[in-house]
Amino acid sequence: MTASPVTPIVALDVPNRAGAEALVQRLGDACDYYKVGLELFAAEGPAIVAWLRGIGKQVFVDLKLHDIPNTVRGAARSVARRGASLLTVHASGGPEMIAAAVQGANEGRPDGGCAILGVTILTSMDGAGAGEAWGRPPVDVQAEVVRLAGLVAGGGAAGIVCSGHEAAAVRQAFGDRLGLLIPGIRLPGGEAHDQRRVMTPAAAAEAGARWIILGRAVTGAADPVAAMAAVRRGLP
């Protein structure tokens, strides 16, 4: 399988706007796409998304929404209006909730510029951990990810979040119907930290990633710009 172009996204896993501004300034032109997660969004609200868009960056808002469909629709609409390009919901919310998120995102950005992604199984979990959380025996992670991907496709979302280890199975089941965002990316020889299922940028690209999330592999590096350059060298 020929690897397709992959978009690298740097995670702004910082507690406030000052930290975000420092990291964005340090990376400069080396990065044009950032992830805003729960910690930063809770501290700064939608204004942080508007700020990033205002300086010409694309934004992935990783909130992993999971609520009744009407509430998720409204939240997705609000986030999309601020200019988000990607927004996550939990795949386990089911097709109706996912469809509501898609509808809300399209209402917020009628140009279709905000895509909904369904989170399958967090890369911090393995089969035993997922089984324990759901009151089941250890699960087959790959089979569960493919099952959850089916819910995402049924809800009309653009793609899923999964580790690179499940990517081939998802692509076999859904082809190019679902774009794959792969977190847990580490440079060769890098530490896994709190992730259980990790992968290098090149391996993620080969597995079929459309987007990859770069956290401490870049932000924790002594030279983030050099780390980002190393990532890009490993991508098609």
Distance between CA 229 and CA 147 in Å, rounded? Answer: 36
Distance between CA 167 and CA 81 in Å, rounded? Answer: 31
**Which residues sit opposite 34 in a β-bridge?**
10, 59
Distance between CA 185 and CA 67 in Å, rounded? Answer: 29
HEC string of 172-186?
A: HHHCCCCEEEECCEC
* Residue 93 per-residue DSSP state: G
Maximum CA extent, the chain:
48
Give catalytic residues, as residue numbers: 64
Strands (E), the chain: 7-11, 33-36, 58-65, 86-90, 115-119, 159-161, 179-182, 211-214
